[in-house]
């Protein structure tokens, strides 16, 4: 399994979630985050914003669903401007179900 962690623009949330659902991926976790990328924030007039509000979406997927999840996120998050986001993929070695205590190896 893979854990996909996507940092996206907050206004692209609905498009990303709709795209994930369209490819059959419904389980997500989302949280508001603050950060900055290569552009080091933005300047609006005399005011400099060092960190920007973003949204982090976490999606755990089977290995064979990883590519379609990434494509769905990229398509939904894309604006063509700096700050569209980043996607990180990590290996999941074990999962546990809290209610049942069920443990699954990779």
Instruction: Read off the CATH number of the domain in which 100 is found.
Output: 3.30.70.120
Whether 56 shows a pLDDT value over 90: the answer reads yes
Q: Determine the Cα–Cα distance for residues 79 and 84; give it in Å rounded to an integer.
A: 6
Residue 101's domain comprises 2-105
Shortest CA distance to 58 belongs to which of 32, 23, 24? Answer: 32
Q: What is the pLDDT of residues 35-54, one digit of tens each?
A: 887 777 777 888 888 888 99
Q: What percent of the chain shows pLDDT beyond 70?
A: 99
pTM of this structure: 0.88
CA 39 to chain centroid, in Å, comes to 19
Total number of domains constituting the chain:
1
C-alpha angle with apex 59: 53 to 62, nearest 5 degrees?
160
């Amino acid at each position: 399994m893979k854990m996909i962690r996507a940092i996206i623009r907050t206004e692209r949330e609905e498009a990303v979630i709709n795209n994930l659902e369209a490819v059959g991926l419904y389980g997500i976790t989302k949280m508001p985050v603050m950060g900055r990328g290569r552009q080091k924030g933005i300047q609006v007039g005399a005011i400099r914003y060092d960190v920007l509000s973003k949204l982090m979406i976490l999606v755990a997927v089977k290995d064979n669903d990883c590519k379609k999840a990434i494509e769905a996120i990229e398509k939904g998050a894309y604006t063509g401007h700096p700050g569209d986001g980043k996607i990180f993929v990590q290996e999941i070695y074990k999962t546990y179900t809290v209610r049942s205590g069920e443990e699954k190896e990779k």
